[in-house]
Amino acid sequence: MGTLDQIEELGQKAADAVAGAGVFPRVRVASDSDDESRPVYRFSFLIDVQKATLEHLGLIRIRLIQRLYDDLAAQNDEHLPQIRLLNQADWEEEARARPH
């Protein structure tokens, strides 16, 4: 497992590879566990609605989860990826809600 900064970088690289550079200009990640006590990374991606093809977000989401899963597994990291694709308003709301 890398640092959260390294995991954010991994997330940004995956987003750029799957959706194209700039479609998701920012990423945040938190380490947590799911309902079954498995380790997860909760990735939040900010969507640039000017660059995103919104009708393809479902496919992008699936490909992004698979890419993150594969990249984490390649690093022997057992965390499962969970992702949220957020517009600017939701991104800011999430930032306010996060503990500091």
Q: Is the pLDDT of residue 1 over 80?
A: no
DSSP-derived letter for residue 23 is: S
How many Å apart are CA 93 and CA 100, to the nearest integer?
14
Sign of the dihedral defined by the CA atoms of residues 33, 37, 40, 42, in that order:
negative
Task: Look at residue 90 in the predicted model and tell me its pLDDT.
Answer: 95
Instruction: Pull the structure tokens for residue 22.
Output: 């700039």
Q: Can you give the pLDDT at residue 8?
A: 97
Domains of the chain: 4-97 (3.30.70.1350)
C-alpha triplet 56, 59, 60: angle, nearest 5°:
80
Q: Taking all residues of the chain, what is their mean pLDDT, rounded to a whole number?
A: 93
pLDDT tens digits, residue range 15-36? 999 999 999 999 999 999 999 9
